[in-house]
Structure 1
Amino acid sequence: MAFAQTQFEKFHTVILLGYDENSELRDRRDTLLKDLKDRISPDAPTYSHFTQGSYALSTGVTALNGNPDMDIGLSFNCSPDDYEDPLTLKKFVSDALTRTNRTVTIRRPCVTVTYLKDGEPTHHIDLAVYSSNSDDQTQLARGRDCDPKAERVWEASEAKKLTDLINNQFKDDDSNQFRRVVRALKRWRDEKIGHKNVPSIGLTVSAYQWFSPSYDSVEGKPRDLIAIRNLVDKMLANWNGLRLVVELPVASYADLFERMTQIQMVDFKSKLESLRDALNEAEGQPDTHEACKILKKQFGDDFPVPEKTDTTKKTSAGVSTSGRSA
């Protein structure tokens, strides 16, 4: 059996994206927050900021298209009732951040700041605007300039609560494996899915619900191949008729795959089945070199393939899927 654990960990080191791995994006973030503080209208209410999305969850991956992003939440100290049109707050943010060296766009869920080099985008930062209602539930400002007033709305969205839930779901080595598995699935998605309707948060919440840590029962070493395979099996087993439905565990409780067309959903399922089969085939290989050749076809060129002469070794067959103590 070939588990290719060393290669999975090397792969993770190559694809992971976090604060320490992208100093330019981190510096841009700090500059944006300073500009916002210094230039926002005095008519705007006070606010605090927090990191959300993959940076807050430590599940970011390097972008294949070279255009990484970061998500920031801006929590304004006001009630949604104070700003019936949430676009007002988003314009405060947009006006403060507009500069000649970047483009600022008000999108429905956020304000996006994009940085360009030679006319091509290099990275972008999304700033989501929130306030809290009388029940202390955070509400997201949705709407653009071109939207009619009826479509400029406040929508329940508990980004901080979601971050806390996911970050506290697993501990220590289990948490580390969880993040490796999520990052591997994201890179697989980028390699294999030819559209943008399989969102990263959908894969992350799928793992939040169905990931089970896997270790060698003899030596206690992690087995990422088995953990990924078992998660994919769970996703396929939870297909609801023609679709996979994965709901946010916090408000707005939306189906994270709802934007996928039926054709895209069929393709998604087929690609997951191919991934499962490849993982099973790789596990059955006696040679890690051959196993990694199979895995590379799924995860892309960043997945390492060791020299054949170094990989024909006896491996332990004992695997536990319920954590180190099992």
Structure 2
Amino acid sequence: MATLQEEFRVFHDEIRLGTYDEDQNLRDKRDTLIRELRNELKDEKIPDTERSLTFTKLDQGSYAMRTGIKPINDDYDIDVGVVFDITNDEYCSRNLKKLVFDALNKRHKRTVKYNKPCITVEYADGYHVDLAIYSNNNNDLHIAWGRSTATEQKWYESDPKGLKRWVSDVSNNAEYSKQFRCCVRYLKKWKAKHFTSIGNTAPPSIGLTVQARQHFIFNKDNDLTSLINIVRKIKSDFSMQFDLDDFILKRSISYKLPQKPYKNIYYKMSLLQQDQFYEKLVSLEEALCEARDENSEQAASLILRKVFGKDFPLVENIKRADIRPVIGTGFNA
């Protein structure tokens, strides 16, 4: 049986994206936008008061959780919270979100968009920043949720700090925590290779992270076994649902955030997309188990290359007689 632990860790170091503290380029891009927003709002007052409208920065997302991977085509996704020092009744969520949008939409060579959970700033050189707008609300954070129309906009309970702590607190043991983060990055790399980025066809990365955190079991010097266990457990979170359009049963998944607002993570995915997600997990588990059961480490590494792409190291210098054809993985090279 193969574990390829050394190869897995080389692979992890290759795909791993550092935190803001480790990556000067990411830190500069984040801080430049925050400085610009602070400068644009420096004279703004809270409505009907003489208090200045101030905010603090909150790092969130995969960089803050230390689960990021290097993006395909250098499309860096930077997640930052902007926490305003207001209560919900001091500022309409729609007006505040529009104020931030207008402040950032003054410059050329970038595109600013409304999204339900954030305002997205896209740059021509291949990265974008998602700014989530929060009210501090006496240390009970609420997010400005909704797009640009008045009927959609509202303050929504949220606990980004609690979510970050929950993910980080998987274990006090450094070895345990590292294996967990490795497994999350492996899943994200699999997702990047086997799902299109168009629409909502791919499961959100936070879903993979939360479910991996919930289902992680440490296996010393054996990332492969831990990863197989996570994939099996994620599969078990699916249920059967009758599709009224196609009149057939399909696999569906509903999984809530462990912190406020406790929303279903997969709410954007259609029933068909959820069913396709399940089928890809089936193929993933089959391939991982096939690699694990291989006697030849080179053959096992070839299987895992089909799963994760060419960043996964190929085991060399194995006698050709030890290698049997790689079939039945369900993956295209």
- TM-score category (smaller protein): 0.7 to 0.9
Over 3 Å counting, the alpha-carbon distance change for 1:310 and 1:211 in structure 2 is farther
- Per-residue CA deviations over 1:267-298 (Å, capped at 9, x if unaligned) read 11111111111111111111211101001101
Secondary structure of the 1:72 match is strand
**Which runs of no fewer than 5 residues in structure 2 stay unpaired?**
46-52, 241-250, 323-333
Instruction: Report the counterpart of residue 299 of structure 1 in structure 2.
Output: 308
Instruction: Report the counterpart of residue 79 of structure 2 in structure 1.
Output: 71
Over 3 Å counting, the alpha-carbon distance change for 1:2 and 1:109 in structure 2 is same
Separation in 2 of the partners of 1:229 and 1:21? 30
The answer on 1:191 being equivalent to 2:198 is no
Instruction: Report the counterpart of residue 209 of structure 1 in structure 2.
Output: 214
Instruction: Report the counterpart of residue 154 of structure 2 in structure 1.
Output: 153
Instruction: Report the counterpart of residue 14 of structure 1 in structure 2.
Output: 14
Question: Which of these residues, 166, 179, 182, is aligned with residue 180 of structure 1?
Answer: 182
Q: Which amino acid is the alignment partner of residue 74 of structure 2?
A: G
Deviates more, 1:34-43 or 1:242-251: 34-43
Over 3 Å counting, the alpha-carbon distance change for 1:259 and 1:311 in structure 2 is farther
Separation in 1 of the partners of 2:146 and 2:30? 23
Instruction: Report the counterpart of residue 316 of structure 1 in structure 2.
Output: none
Separation in 2 of the partners of 1:311 and 1:59? 37
The answer on 1:107 being equivalent to 2:111 is no
Q: Which amino acid is the alignment partner of residue 39 of structure 2?
A: D
Is 2:158–2:261's contact at 8 Å kept on the other side of the alignment?
yes
The answer on 1:225 being equivalent to 2:224 is yes
Is 1:288–1:311's contact at 8 Å kept on the other side of the alignment?
no
Structure 1 residue 143: deviation in Å? 2.8
- Per-residue CA deviations over 1:218-251 (Å, capped at 9, x if unaligned) read xxxx211001000011111222333222210111
Separation in 1 of the partners of 2:229 and 2:27? 35
Q: Which amino acid is the alignment partner of residue 234 of structure 2?
A: M
Separation in 2 of the partners of 1:23 and 1:289? 37
The answer on 1:125 being equivalent to 2:129 is yes
The aligned length equals 299
Is 2:219–2:226's contact at 8 Å kept on the other side of the alignment?
yes
The answer on 1:82 being equivalent to 2:82 is no
Separation in 1 of the partners of 2:315 and 2:24? 30
Instruction: Report the counterpart of residue 319 of structure 1 in structure 2.
Output: none
Secondary structure of the 2:144 match is strand
Q: Normalising by structure 2, report the TM-score.
A: 0.84
Instruction: Report the counterpart of residue 50 of structure 1 in structure 2.
Output: 58
- Per-residue CA deviations over 1:132-182 (Å, capped at 9, x if unaligned) read 346x4211102333x1x1211111111111001111122311110111100
Is 1:76–1:131's contact at 8 Å kept on the other side of the alignment?
yes
Instruction: Report the counterpart of residue 168 of structure 1 in structure 2.
Output: 169
Secondary structure of the 2:278 match is helix
Separation in 1 of the partners of 2:62 and 2:162? 14
**Which runs of no fewer than 5 residues in structure 1 stay unpaired?**
216-221, 314-326
Secondary structure of the 1:62 match is coil
The answer on 1:274 being equivalent to 2:283 is yes
Once superposed, what is the RMSD of the aligned Cα atoms? 2.1
Secondary structure of the 1:260 match is coil
Structure 1 residue 312: deviation in Å? 11
Secondary structure of the 2:262 match is coil
Separation in 2 of the partners of 1:193 and 1:72? 25
Following TM superposition, the consecutive aligned residue runs of length 4 or more in structure 1 with deviations greater than 6 angstroms are: 310-313
Instruction: Report the counterpart of residue 218 of structure 1 in structure 2.
Output: none
Structure 1 residue 22: deviation in Å? 4.4
Structure 1 residue 21: deviation in Å? 6.3
Q: Which amino acid is the alignment partner of residue 218 of structure 2?
A: P
Q: Normalising by structure 1, report the TM-score.
A: 0.86
Over 3 Å counting, the alpha-carbon distance change for 1:94 and 1:310 in structure 2 is farther
Structure 1 residue 305: deviation in Å? 0.7
Instruction: Report the counterpart of residue 30 of structure 2 in structure 1.
Output: 29
